[in-house]
Amino acid sequence: MDKFEYCRLDKQWFILTKDYTFGFTLAGLYEDDPTRLEVILKETGLSADKPLYLVAPKGFVTDLASIPTQLQFLFKPEGDYGPAAALHDLLYQKIPIIGYYHNDGAGKLNAMIDKNFADRMFLYAMKALGVNWITRQSFYLAVKHFGLTSFIDDNKGCIYFKPNAYTFNMNANYEFVREFPTVGIPPQDMTMVRSNQQAHVHYLNIKRAFLTYPIPVAGETNVSAKPQPV
């Protein structure tokens, strides 16, 4: 399994310092829902046992597991469920019905990603990571029943330290799921970024930009003096 690497951005937020790739199959993800599995296979043309890869890119900012302050003496945001929480947070970043996805199996699956898929992936990834049954079920039921507000939120209220780098607005969708383990932000997506300049990358279907990494040292001119909305 891929190593999950990140660092703390501020008191609440973390940033991935390398791509995190998680492998799965639709058969495993929907083993308890054959009806939905059949629909997805028909719509995408994918096979149930085909290896697929969900990629959270370097520079993705996440609060990992959203644990209320009052409960952080029991659960930490960066517990053993942290990688699964980051994947869940990434899928909750999706803006529905916008832009163009690749016209292949993975692209069609990306177009179908919804809250149910995100919540199910959270549970599936926690199980794969060895998170104990009580914890993973508790977290899963919490997002299943109370996560809608976060799923539809536009994230304009999210505030964290963001380097004052150029933001490249990508005229394309981010491909969450791939048929092969590829780099999070493909080189061809970066060809128009200004040379020798740090850049955040903002895809059409993502609420928040993926930040430049490494983050400049505090005090440098391209680091904001205070948190800013993103």
The answer to whether the Cα torsion of 4, 49, 38, 140 is positive or negative is negative
Share of the chain above pLDDT 90, in %: 59
Element (DSSP H or E) covering residue 82: helix 82-92
pLDDT at position 187 is 72
The span from the CA of 61 to the CA of 70, in Å, is 23
Cβ density class 27-50: b for 16+ within 10 Å, e for less: eebbeeeeeebeebbeebebebee
Among 2-11, 141-150, 158-167, 198-207, name the one with the lowest average pLDDT: 158-167
| Tens of pLDDT, residues 31-40 | 999 999 999 9
The answer to whether the Cα torsion of 123, 127, 128, 129 is positive or negative is positive
Q: Quick check: pTM over 0.85?
A: yes
- Considering only residues 187 and 11, tell me which one the structure prediction assigns the higher pLDDT: 11
Per-residue confidence band for 215, with pLDDT thresholds at 50, 70 and 90: low
Residue in this structure with the two tokens 């899963």, named with its chain if needed = 140
In whole numbers, what is the pLDDT of the chain averaged over residues? 86
Q: Which two tokens stand for residue 20?
A: 């995190």
